[in-house]
Chains A and B, each alone.
Chain A
Amino acid sequence: MPETEFLLEMKKITKRFSSNTVLDEVDFSVRQGEVHALIGENGAGKSTLMKILCGVYHADDGSVLIQGEKQKIKNPAESIALGISIINQEMSPMRDLTVAENIFMGRLPMKNGFIDKKTMNKMAQLLLDEIGSKIDPSQYMNSLKISDMQMVEICKAISFDAKIIIMDEPTSALSEKEVEALFQIINNLKSKGKSIIYISHKLDEIFAICDSATILRDGKLIDRSDIKDLTKDQMISSMVGRKIEDIFPPRHPKFGDIMLSIRDYQTSPGGPKISFDLRKGEVLGLTGLMGAGRTELAETIFGMRKRYGGVLKIEDKEVTVNNPLQAMKSGIAFCTDDRKLTGLVGTMSIKENITLPTIQDFFKGGMLSYKKEIDATNRMMEMLRIKATSYMTNVMELSGGNQQKVVLAKWLYREPKILILDEPTRGIDVGAKVEIYNVINELTDKGYSILFISSEMQEIIGVCDRVLIFHEGDVNGELNRAEFNQEYIMRCASGL
């Protein structure tokens, strides 16, 4: 057996999907007992690389070595047998089964042809103790919090006697406290000699928990270093391939009168009262941790959610908004945070998606005019530089960036006065992000007012003229562009 310092080595991995090379001779290696970060923009090839390791995809070229021995991983079962286990970002627990049954599904301990519940619960208890969790193994999954479900997933991973545990965005649904608990578990696993591949977009977490990092960009290896040799700015520029100054186009805002005025808005009964103004031509950022109440506020303004109190004024006139239709008629548009869930109709074409909210504008003599629809779609596609074969292309065939532009187009057609953008750049590559930022600048130059919701600090600082920081449903701080300060924003967001 050849000597090597690495537990896992992937060498010159190449993967193509038809003519598209998604991984180009990528090297990836993890030492025993280290937490190794795998970072890159969306579409950089992280998940493809991990799917090859898990036997879901097969590499076109390159080799995988575990403890210096070459392995051919043909399917997920072989990957598990080699001691590789993955905790997916989107968990799929069997909710009507118990914790123990979830952990041992597929290999339930049997006795006389029946499930041996006693042994199963005992084995599960040992695993739960090992990670220091207080969950009862006989509890049903549907009674658990999301963070506890994640603990169960971790137990499942350990129960396979995994040497390498892949965690894909493990903290996206966790609160700060739960993140701390997770970090403790990770340290615990590390001390037992397990290696962890940690995929995350949150650079602070990576600096807090990881020992080393691999950075991918456009399917190529950019850097592999120890964390102590890296800075955050280096990491970002390696990930996006350009300097931060080049990502955000400069803003030269000209503010007009107050466009939108929110007074004492309550999104829950007896909840905090929120008030703010948005001026013509202004980009007002709403930031905070996940679940801090920004999206809820936006949904209430747009009439998707019940308002429990407060007044909404547009150009100093009081307006009642109880449903999306009224909001649209008052000149408000809302690009929701989840393109696939609430933004696009996946069975429809670009044209049908863009014209959906404004379909009544495309009638001629009582009948829908395809010509009018097509003309408008082509105009919007040109304006937002949507790249597609034609207006008939199904939206699901587009890249994330172009999908986002279709969502923008469907709201911009009617030229709303107020545009709410909820995480408009989530999950799209940096090139597409820059284009969205450019569009935002063009729109505010034309006098649009924008509410910009984002969890990404860099983006908030780069795009907004002013920012409101949310914590637990209330505004906990406000800064103008000149006063922008990362540390202050973070502190307000955490409730300090």
Chain B
Amino acid sequence: MERKLKTFNVKNIMSNVVLLIALIAVMIIFTSLNSNFATAKNLTNILTQVSINGYLAIGAMCIMITGGIDLSSGSILALSGVVTASLVQTSGTPNVPLAICAGMGIAIAFGALNGLLVSRFKIVPFITTLATMMIARGIAFIYSNGRPITGLDESFLGLGSGKIGMISYPVIIMIIVIILAYIFLYRTKLGRYIYAVGGNEYAARVSGVKVENVKMIAYIIGGALAGLTAVVLTSRVTSGLPQAGDGYEMDAIAACAIGGVSLSGGKGKLWTVVIGIILLGVINNGMDMLNISSYYQDIFKGIIILIAVGLDLKKK
């Protein structure tokens, strides 16, 4: 019995660190292939690059743990981005706080709409967010007349390009998001309820959990993080693009899948998702540096997702 326990624990720990080992292995491979990879400059650069996907992935994670999915985050990001940009154009009267509030506000409103449709109207999350994905994208193009919104105020652009020492603002924001996500998921009532609702909605309801409200909040968080992404991305690319964030929702879902978040809900650890986010970023960056075409990169990323999820299944 004792021996059995021991092997069980070893296996458990192994399966938890296997992703970390994979990340380290990939980094060693890139370091050996390109001497510029493992420089401090490039590594901080990678972190800045992954921060965008990082915010979205953590939003996607909260939603996926409830058993849902969010296909709309990329489009919400675009809409929120053009709205934000339009309020900080130097041709008008740039107002940074107002722009950020408006951008975040519209994203949160869309998140709330998703939550409302899923929890009260019982439309399945895939269809709900597929529809809002189209709606948000359409509004973004109409709002911007299909053109990029440029000429943004300097004080707004500092947000995406500013640094404290080596660390860029987007990375600092990501660290704050991760800390808040940790507190939310593991140290609050709502965080525990999110896992309970995804694990067994009925049992959660019988235990006094207001399932509708919990789902609602998960989608609002997803929306808020899409808004945050929009603000940071708009600042970094110095314009509001109606076509921005196309396919970002899939990268976010991919990071969650690699990080062991189950599509059927109830499961997923924050730190493995963070590693999943970084792993995807490292692969992008490393292959870029080796001048590998993005077509091959896509194939490689697809294979990584299958291996990660396959290993996760085998564990059971």
Contacts and interface: CB of A to CB of B under 8 A. Distances in A.
Interface in A301-331: 302, 304, 323-325, 328
B195 interface: yes
Nearest to B8: A389
Interface string B125-163: 000000000000000000000000000000000000000
Given A324-B205, A324-B206, A342-B206, A368 B196 contact: no
Interface in A40-55: none
B186 A345 contact: no
Contacts of B205: 304, 324
Given A356-B192, A356-B196, A368 B203 contact: no
Contacts of B188: 367-368
A410 B203 CA distance: 11
B204 interface: yes
Contact of A348 (B189, B208, B209, B266): B266
Interface in A336-351: 336, 341-348
A360 B203 contact: no
B189 A345 contact: no
B266 A347 contact: yes
B299 interface: no
A324 B207 CA distance: 7
Contacts of A410: 207
Given A356-B196, A368-B192, A345 B208 contact: no
Contacts of A203: none
B11 interface: no
Given A357-B208, A359-B189, A345 B5 contact: no
B31 interface: no
A9 interface: no
B203 A342 contact: yes
B210 A345 contact: no
Contacts of A360: 189
Nearest to A368: B187
Given A342-B202, A345-B196, A389-B5, A368 B207 contact: no
Interface string B176-212: 0000000100111101110110111011111111100
Given A328-B208, A357-B208, A347 B192 contact: no
B187 A334 contact: no
Interface in A345-375: 345-348, 352, 356-357, 359-360, 363, 367-368
B195 A343 contact: no
Contacts of B203: 341-345, 356
Interface residues of A, number: 26
B206 A347 contact: no
Contacts of A344: 200, 203
B204 A345 contact: yes
Measured as residues with beta carbon below 8 angstroms from the partner, the interface class of chain B is: 20 to 34
Contacts of B200: 341-342, 344-347
Contacts of A359: 189, 192-193
B270 to A, nearest CB: 14
Give the most central of A344, A359, A363, A389: most B CB within 10 Å. A359
Contacts of B183: 367
Nearest to B189: A359
Given A359-B192, A367-B187, A368-B186, A347 B207 contact: no
A377 to B, nearest CB: 14
A352 B195 contact: yes
B192 A325 contact: no
Contacts, number: 73
Contacts of B196: 345, 348, 352, 356
B206 A336 contact: yes
Nearest to B5: A389
Contacts of A389: 5
A117 to B, nearest CB: 33
B236 interface: no
Contacts of B267: 347
Contact of A346 (B193, B199, B210): B199
Interface in B1-55: 5
A356 B209 contact: yes
Contact of A356 (B202, B204, B210, B265): B204
A342 B196 CA distance: 12
A346 B266 CA distance: 9
A341 B201 CA distance: 9
A399 B273 CA distance: 32
Contacts of A328: 208
Interface string B218-259: 000000000000000000000000000000000000000000
Nearest to A302: B206
Give the most central of B183, B203, B205: most A CB within 10 Å. B203
Contacts of A343: 203, 206
B312 to A, nearest CB: 13
A367 B180 CA distance: 12
Given A356-B192, A359-B192, A368-B188, A304 B206 contact: yes
B66 to A, nearest CB: 12
Nearest to B206: A342
Given A336-B206, A342-B203, A347 B189 contact: no
Given A334-B206, A389-B5, A410-B207, A352 B266 contact: no
A345 B199 CA distance: 5
A393 B104 CA distance: 41
Contacts of B199: 345-348
A454 to B, nearest CB: 19
Nearest to A353: B203
A399 to B, nearest CB: 16
B207 A356 contact: yes
A345 B206 contact: no
A367 B179 CA distance: 14
Contacts of A346: 199-200, 266
Given A344-B203, A367-B187, A325 B208 contact: yes
Interface in A375-427: 389, 410
A331 to B, nearest CB: 13
Nearest to A326: B208
B185 to A, nearest CB: 10
A428 to B, nearest CB: 18
Nearest to B209: A356
A336 B206 CA distance: 8
A341 B198 CA distance: 13
A197 B207 CA distance: 40
Nearest to B264: A347
Interface of A: 302, 304, 323-325, 328, 334, 336, 341-348, 352, 356-357, 359-360, 363, 367-368, 389, 410
12 contacts: A304-B206, A324-B207, A336-B206, A341-B203, A342-B202, A343-B203, A345-B266, A347-B199, A359-B193, A363-B189, A367-B187, A368-B188
Q: Which 8 A-B pairs have the closest CB atoms?
A: A347-B266, A347-B199, A345-B199, A357-B207, A345-B200, A325-B208, A367-B187, A342-B202
Given A345-B200, A345-B203, A348-B199, 11 more contacts: A304-B206, A342-B206, A345-B196, A346-B199, A346-B266, A347-B195, A347-B199, A347-B200, A352-B195, A359-B193, A367-B188
Interface of B: 5, 183, 186-189, 191-193, 195-196, 198-200, 202-210, 262, 265-267
